Amino acid sequence: MLRYMTAGESHGKCLVAILEGVPRGVKLDQKLINLQLKKRQMGYGRGKRMKLEPDKVKILSGVRKGYTTAGPITLFIENKDKTLDRLPPVTCPRPGHADLAGMLKYNIHDARDILERASARETAARVAVGAACRLFLAEFGIDIFSHTKYICDVNAQIKQLSFEDIKRNASKSAINCADKYAESLMLRRIEQVKRKGDTAGGGFEIIVLNLPPGLGSCMHYDRKLDGRLAFELMSIQAIKGVEFGLGFEGARLPGSRFHDAIYLKGKKIVRKTNNAGGIEGGMTNGEPLRVTCAMKPISTLMNPLDSIDIKKKIAKKAAVERADVCALAAASVVGENVAAFVLAQAMLEKFGGDSVSETIRNYKGYMNSFKF
Ligand SMILES: Cc1cc2nc3c(=O)[nH]c(=O)nc-3n(C[C@H](O)[C@H](O)[C@H](O)COP(=O)(O)O)c2cc1C
């Protein structure tokens, strides 16, 4: 069983993750992990913190001469801003953030300890974990990328684009958007909300190619891959909805227009559509995985909403912390890497293996065993 745990505060000394269960022999290229960490810090609309030096991972255990040993992998990211002990208390909770619920839960007047841990800075550790899992998935040719579908009311048009185009265009975009025209409107919208001291949310789609069919299970609720992906993706800060394929829009359609009819092309099973997003019955069905995450607007507003001072019991504006105006591009990098973890877990459950060569052998045996 692949599993991990993270520790660390937003302005503390560091973030740490321990990832356990990666088989022996995966080439863990630190540069590729750092690339994902760098991508997480980029994107138009980010706050000043992102202008600090890029995050870099130190691998403290579980890797020898660049290859995993099968032991627990410790991933360490030093914080550039370690001012935790000097930061002021936060007594005016920000609507939308964890502040008020955390103050009530822990019975405290200062939300500092809450927000330091609730902050999306924690996602740096999750990205490092996911980036390591991606390197394992790459052994099977599994490719993960994402693109921004909408920011506020501006939608990208990607219907005419191939996966290759989506991946290439998005990677060149300041906001991870594959549609150049929509990108310019999105950037303008971010500027507009920023000028008003406001924030923006949106939606991004994660696409995964070359997954084998049969990951996950239809046999028990907690083995279903869509449920597991939805849980992990919803646990990303500010993600408030997860849709597979056509998602909520598909719920309005009759079955005849929604479901993906099955055909034979020679001896190959094919679909002409992928409205299911690559998962049926809690299992991958051989089509590309397509999952969209909806991110709510950032909670810290430079023009703050009404709140109260919990200590003084008086009306006050909400606290203002250094913050992003829009973090869609960053959230999509987090989403990709969180999905990578779940998919690596599902691959290991299906194919097992104490060494990656054993996993590959089992994978090949399965892929060659289809009777169709
Ligand atoms: C990549 C990323 C960056 C974020 N940056 C900020 C930020 O700068 N300021 C902020 O208030 N919230 C930010 N958030 C969202 C908060 O962390 C999140 O809203 C908060 O922890 C409460 O959790 P919830 O929205 O899941 O309920 C960010 C989220 C992500 C994924």
pLDDT digits (tens, 9 = 90+) for 199-212: 999 999 999 999 99
pLDDT at 157: 98
CA 119 / ligand 1 centre spacing (Å): 6
Atom of ligand 1 nearest to the CA of 47: 8
Residue 267 binned pLDDT confidence (cut-offs 50, 70, 90): confident
Atom of ligand 1 nearest to the CA of 49: 8
The answer, yes or no, to whether any atom of ligand 1 lies below 6 A from the CB of 301, is: no
Contact (Cβ atoms closer than 8 angstroms) between residue 262 and residue 278: no
pLDDT in tens, 112-150: 999 999 999 999 999 999 999 999 999 999 999 999 999
The answer, yes or no, to whether any atom of ligand 1 lies below 6 A from the CB of 173, is: no
> Can you give the C-alpha Rg of the chain in angstroms?
22
Buried b (16+ CB within 10 A) or exposed e, 75-113: bbbebeeeeeeeeeebbbbbebbbbbebbeeeebebbbb
Which residue's C-alpha comes closest to atom 27 of ligand 1? 238
Residue in 347, 351, 356, 354 with CA at minimum distance from that of residue 144: 347
pLDDT at 370: 83
Contact (Cβ atoms closer than 8 angstroms) between residue 317 and residue 215: no
CA 121 / ligand 1 centre spacing (Å): 9
pLDDT at 24: 98
pLDDT at 75 over 80: yes
pLDDT in tens, 149-185: 999 999 999 999 999 999 999 999 999 999 999 999 9
Q: Which amino acid, one-letter code, is at 117?
A: R
CA 120 / ligand 1 centre spacing (Å): 5
Which residue's C-alpha comes closest to atom 25 of ligand 1? 238
The answer, yes or no, to whether any atom of ligand 1 lies below 6 A from the CB of 97, is: yes
- Comparison of pLDDT for 358 and 53, the residue scoring more: 358
Q: Which of 44-48, 168-172, 246-250 comes out lowest in average pLDDT?
A: 44-48
Percent of all residues in the chain with a pLDDT value above 90, rounded to a whole number: 95
Give the pair of three-digit tokens for residue 35. Answer: 């690339």
Residue 298 binned pLDDT confidence (cut-offs 50, 70, 90): very high
Separation between Cα atoms, residue 127 and residue 38, nearest integer Å? 10
Residue 321 binned pLDDT confidence (cut-offs 50, 70, 90): confident
Atom of ligand 1 nearest to the CA of 300: 11
Reported pTM: 0.97
Give the pair of three-digit tokens for residue 183. Answer: 């990108």
For the segment 7-15, the average pLDDT, to the nearest whole number, is 97
pLDDT at 371: 72
Which residue's C-alpha comes closest to atom 7 of ligand 1? 323
Give the pair of three-digit tokens for residue 271. Answer: 């679909």
DSSP sequence for 239-301: EEEEEETTGGGGGGS-HHHHS--EEEETTEEEES--TTTTEETTEE-SSPEEEEEEEPPPS--
Contact (Cβ atoms closer than 8 angstroms) between residue 293 and residue 203: yes
Give the pair of three-digit tokens for residue 314. Answer: 């008086």
pLDDT at 183: 98
pLDDT at 52 over 80: no
Residue 222 binned pLDDT confidence (cut-offs 50, 70, 90): very high
- Average pLDDT taken over every residue of the chain: 96
| Among 6, 11, 97, residue to substitute to test ligand 1 (most atoms within 8 Å of Cβ) | 97
**Neighbour tally for 119: CB within 10 Å:** 18
pLDDT at 50: 67
pLDDT in tens, 86-119: 999 999 999 999 999 999 999 999 999 999 999 9
The answer, yes or no, to whether any atom of ligand 1 lies below 6 A from the CB of 42, is: no
At 195 the three-state DSSP class reads helix
Those residues whose C-beta lies under 8 Å from the C-beta of residue 95, and which sit 6 or more positions away, are 299, 305, 306, 307, 318
